[in-house]
């Protein structure tokens, strides 16, 4: 785990907290920590997945002489199976589960007996290609570096431990955060308030000091609302129109790069209301 809990690390943290507190006080900031979602917020997971599927289609066509349409159907089926994945963190092996997705999709499309070896080849090509494309853009890195001079930054991502840790490693984002929390390593994931309280405790801040930023209304935004964070910021890259019943974020942005302006506006509101009383 990135956040070590040994005393030396805690002492270093306290020092940083003091520094950060002084900086926040000097600048009149009311937000002390920002929690970032990973997938489709800081990295373009959807695009990486699409590129990975294209590589598998090429493999099935060139090496195994599948028709393009067959290969596409297989990939579509795997995509559906991935979206329906439901597991309990303690009793899964994600490699087995996802290899089985490919095995079933191939058998459902081509018939015949199950081909575990081919399924493994497809899975590992998909996985390695996807990880290669999981990068944080330079302008996002620069934004994180600047923000971290003023507030704590924490990465809060749902999902299976192994899968998420591999993504974190692939995009080399550890050095941009004060702490990293993976839902699959906790008792509950977003939107449960407990994981947000755990994050607050790690940083020594209160929920009312924190802002959650993410692309998923049901987990990131609902979770931030459940835990009564200061604000939630929904990253709506594709201009999705939410359903009426969806949780209502405090702010909506089309790019995570709009976040510094949002934080400034939150702090302006706080100082204006303080001066008017």
Structure token pair of residue 36: 């970032």
Choices 47-55, 104-112, 211-219, 222-230 (CB under 5 A): range interacting with Mg ion: 211-219
Q: Please give the C-alpha separations between residue 178 and each of 3, 45, 79, 149, in angstroms, as whole numbers.
A: 8, 23, 33, 11
Nearer CB in complex with Mg ion: 85/104 = 85
Taking every pair of Cα atoms in the chain, the longest distance, rounded to a whole number of angstroms, is 75
What is the smallest separation between the CB atom of 234 and Mg ion, expressed in angstroms? 11
Nearer CB in complex with Mg ion: 119/256 = 256
CA distance 70 to 59: 12
63-93: burial string, b at 16+ Cβ within 10 Å, e else: eeebeeebbbbbbebbeebeeeeeeeeeeee
What is the smallest separation between the CB atom of 167 and Mg ion, expressed in angstroms? 11
x/- mask, Mg ion, residues 98-137, rule CB under 5 A, reads ----------------------------------------
Nearer CB in complex with Mg ion: 37/160 = 37
**E strands present in 102-218:** 152-157, 179-182, 210-214
User: Among candidates 160, 168, 158, 163, which has minimal Cα distance to 135?
Assistant: 168
What is the smallest separation between the CB atom of 147 and Mg ion, expressed in angstroms? 19
Nearer CB in complex with Mg ion: 41/99 = 41
What is the smallest separation between the CB atom of 180 and Mg ion, expressed in angstroms? 15
Residue carrying structure tokens 């289609």: 57
Q: Which residues are 153's β-sheet partners?
A: 34
Instruction: Tell me how far the alpha carbon of residue 244 is from its chain's centroid.
Output: 24
160 contributes a contact to Mg ion by CB under 5 A:
no
Q: Please give the C-alpha separations between residue 85 and each of 91, 121, 226, in angstroms, as whole numbers.
A: 14, 20, 24
Structure token pair of residue 155: 């990465």
Three-state DSSP state, 126: helix
What is the smallest separation between the CB atom of 126 and Mg ion, expressed in angstroms? 19
φ/ψ (deg, to 5) at 93: -125, 105
Choices 89-97, 126-134, 173-181, 214-222 (CB under 5 A): range interacting with Mg ion: 214-222
Nearer CB in complex with Mg ion: 44/103 = 44
Return the residue of 35, 94, 215, 232 that touches Mg ion, per CB under 5 A: 215
Choices 125-133, 147-155, 215-223, 229-237 (CB under 5 A): range interacting with Mg ion: 215-223
What is the smallest separation between the CB atom of 216 and Mg ion, expressed in angstroms? 5
Q: How many residues make contact with Mg ion (CB under 5 A)?
A: 5
Nearer CB in complex with Mg ion: 256/263 = 256
User: Among candidates 24, 17, 26, which has minimal Cα distance to 205?
Assistant: 17
x/- mask, Mg ion, residues 29-58, rule CB under 5 A, reads --------x-xx------------------
Binding site for Mg ion (CB under 5 A): 37, 39-40, 215-216
């Amino acid at each position: 785990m990135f956040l070590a809990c040994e005393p030396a690390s805690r002492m270093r943290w306290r020092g940083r907290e003091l520094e950060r507190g002084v900086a926040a006080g000097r600048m009149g900031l009311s937000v002390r920590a920002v929690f970032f979602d990973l997938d489709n917020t800081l990295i373009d997971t959807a695009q990486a997945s699409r590129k990975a599927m294209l590589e598998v289609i090429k493999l099935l066509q060139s090496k195994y002489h599948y028709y393009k349409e067959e290969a596409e159907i297989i990939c579509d089926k795997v995509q559906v199976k991935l979206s329906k994945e439901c597991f309990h963190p303690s009793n899964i092996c994600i490699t087995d589960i996802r290899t089985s997705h490919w095995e079933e999709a191939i058998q459902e499309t081509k018939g015949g007996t199950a081909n575990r070896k081919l399924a493994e080849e497809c899975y590992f090509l998909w996985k390695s290609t996807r990880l290669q494309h999981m990068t944080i853009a330079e302008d996002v890195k620069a934004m994180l570096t600047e923000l971290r001079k003023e507030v704590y930054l924490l990465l809060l991502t749902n999902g299976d431990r192994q899968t998420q840790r591999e993504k974190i490693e692939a995009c080399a984002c550890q050095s941009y955060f004060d702490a990293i929390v993976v839902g699959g390593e906790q008792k509950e994931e977003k939107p449960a308030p407990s994981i947000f309280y755990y994050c607050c405790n790690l940083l020594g801040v209160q929920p009312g000091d924190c802002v959650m930023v993410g692309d998923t209304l049901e987990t990131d935004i609902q979770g931030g609302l459940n835990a009564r964070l200061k604000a939630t910021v929904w990253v709506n890259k594709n201009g999705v129109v939410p359903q009426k019943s969806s949780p209502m974020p405090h702010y909506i942005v089309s790019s995570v790069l709009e976040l510094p302006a949002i934080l400034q506006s939150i702090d302006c509101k706080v100082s204006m209301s303080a001066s008017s009383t």
